[in-house]
């Protein structure tokens, strides 16, 4: 049996990575931090287990910025593109799904809907949440379970 693999990269190709196994479901976050980071109404992302992720190139091209609240943004210091970053003490990685080459998954949740911009039109998804879920581990398991459907 051939193991599924997904690859991704920043705009300039300096930062490259690989995810082993089936991709978890994707979500869109509509909070103001994600809107500013993406320059759009939301960001589209997924979260993968650290053991399923490998950097292929470009760790030396990654810079980061962190708010006092703990929100962090990692980005390519060549092209400025957001790149994967550690999440929950490096147990997981947050993956901006726009970086994936031919991602085979779907949006299964919208989060932070109470924070969405007035002009942001939200399409249906199986899960629509006004805030970020309190139990992040359960949310991540939901993303993985939704990819098995």
Q: Give the pLDDT band (50/70/90) at residue 45.
A: very high
Neighbours of 75 (CB within 10 A): 20
Backbone torsions φ then ψ of 142, nearest 5 degrees: -60, -45
For residues 8 and 83, give the distance between their C-alpha atoms in angstroms, rounded to a whole number.
9
Pick from 106, 99, 70: which is nearest to 84 by CA?
A: 99
What separation in angstroms does the CA of 124 have from each of 23, 51, 111? Answer: 20, 31, 12
Most confident of 1-10, 41-50, 124-133: 41-50
Asked whether 30 and 111 are in contact (CB, 8 A), the reply is yes
Q: For residue 50, what pLDDT is reported? A: 95
The whole-model pTM stands at 0.89
CATH number of 5-144: 2.170.150.70
């Amino acid at each position: 049996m051939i193991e599924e693999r997904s690859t991704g990269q920043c705009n300039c190709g300096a930062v490259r990575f690989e995810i082993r196994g089936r991709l978890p479901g994707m979500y869109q976050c509509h909070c103001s931090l994600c809107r500013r980071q993406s320059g759009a109404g939301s960001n589209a992302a997924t979260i993968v287990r650290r053991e399923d992720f490998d950097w292929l190139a470009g760790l030396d091209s990654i810079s980061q910025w962190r708010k006092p609240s703990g929100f962090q943004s990692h980005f390519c210091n060549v092209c400025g593109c957001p790149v994967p970053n550690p999440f929950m003490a490096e147990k997981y990685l947050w993956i901006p799904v726009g970086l994936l080459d031919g991602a085979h998954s779907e949006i299964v949740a919208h989060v932070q809907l109470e924070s969405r911009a007035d002009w942001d039109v939200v399409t249906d998804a199986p899960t629509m949440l006004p805030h970020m879920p309190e139990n992040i581990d359960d949310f991540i398991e939901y993303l993985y379970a939704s990819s098995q459907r």
